[in-house]
Chains A and B, each alone.
Chain A
Amino acid sequence: MPDDITPHAAHEPALSARAIQALSSTQGWARFAGVAMLGAALLKMIQTGLFLGHFRNNPQMQQLTDAAQNAAIGGAIVAGVVTTTIYAVIGWLALRYAERLNYVKPPRRPDSQDIVQALGAQHRYWRFQGVLLVVTLALLVLVFLIMIVGIFAAAALHH
């Protein structure tokens, strides 16, 4: 066994100085991504508000029936709330990862628990992105299937 490894370290692997440096230099980017996504959530909320504010003055919307107008307003509210929430959660998870990396940053000497917390926060961020992707793909497949069924139904009615 080489002299520079303690008996404890010989049995369990340790994070190298370069790995610590790479983790701590990620903090700024994670914070930037988090702030950007929270800003995007705020902007999405403003956009939804502007759409609803200008809705009644829009000549194209005035041509719609009352039921169609209500459906359009409801759809815009739901879409705005969902998008804002998704952006806000992504931003919050990125900021949480950045905050966890604070405990890994030199001159502080992180312990194994600090590393677990940081890597766990990163895992939660990417898991959320992955789940979001799966849900989006599932919705796209669903829309595609509905379109196919609609086309066949229309063709059957035509004949």
Chain B
Amino acid sequence: MNEASAPLLDDKALAALNKTRPWMYLIGICSLLAGFLALLAVIGGIIGSSINPERAHMILAAGIAGFLVCVPSAVVQLGYALALSQVNEATGRGLVGAVELACIRQRNLWIVNGLIAGLATVLLVFSTIGAGFF
């Protein structure tokens, strides 16, 4: 696609990107905090394994699962938010590059989002089977 046939980025499109930015920072920071709490749970589980192994293993498993979900989410969410900040600050030719980076990072965000949604659904399938038969 050459420049002449490329769709123009008008003010409404840039406004849609700029309005998404604060939400992405909010969600990203919360995911990062949740990842930190999950890390604390992992550390707590490791320390507690000598005191109460059964409970400690449950905490450890929950912490590892939370960490594996929250940290990649936080990375892609904050990465997209930072790219949107660049869109807000860039002008002229720099704006085209900033929007390109934002589009690439939103794809990465949706890949992680899709995988987590799929994982959540699979877990719900198992818990529904459990609820139905036991």
Q: Residues of A with Cβ closer than 8 Å to B?
A: 4-6, 8-9, 12-20, 22-23, 25-26, 29-30, 32-33, 36-37, 39-40, 43-44, 46-47, 50-51, 54, 94, 104, 106, 109-112, 114-116, 119-120, 122-123, 126-127, 129-130, 133-134, 137
Contact A120 B16, CB 8 Å, known A26-B107, A43-B125, A130-B27: yes
A99 to B95, CA, bound (A): 26
Q: How large is the interface on B (under 10, 10 to 19, 20 to 34, 35 or more residues)?
A: 35 or more
Are B17 and A119 interface neighbours, CB within 8 A? yes
CB B113 to nearest CB in A, in angstroms, measures 5
Q: Which residue of chain B has the shortest Cβ distance to A111 in the bound complex?
A: B7
Are A36 and B23 interface neighbours, CB within 8 A? no
**B99 proximal to A (CB < 8 A):** yes
| B residues 1-44 touching A (CB-CB < 8 Å) | 1-10, 12-13, 16-17, 19-20, 22-24, 26-27, 30
Q: Which residue of chain A has the shortest Cβ distance to B1 in the bound complex?
A: A17
Chain B hits for A33, CB < 8 A: 110, 113-114, 117-118
What total of A-B pairs shows CB separation below 8 Å?
166
From DSSP, what is the main secondary structure of chain A's interface residues? helix
Are B23 and A110 interface neighbours, CB within 8 A? no
Q: Residues of B with Cβ closer than 8 Å to A?
A: 1-10, 12-13, 16-17, 19-20, 22-24, 26-27, 30, 92-93, 95-97, 99-100, 103-104, 106-107, 110-111, 113-114, 117-118, 120-121, 124-125, 127-128, 131-132
Contact A13 B121, CB 8 Å, known A29-B107, A115-B7, A116-B12: no
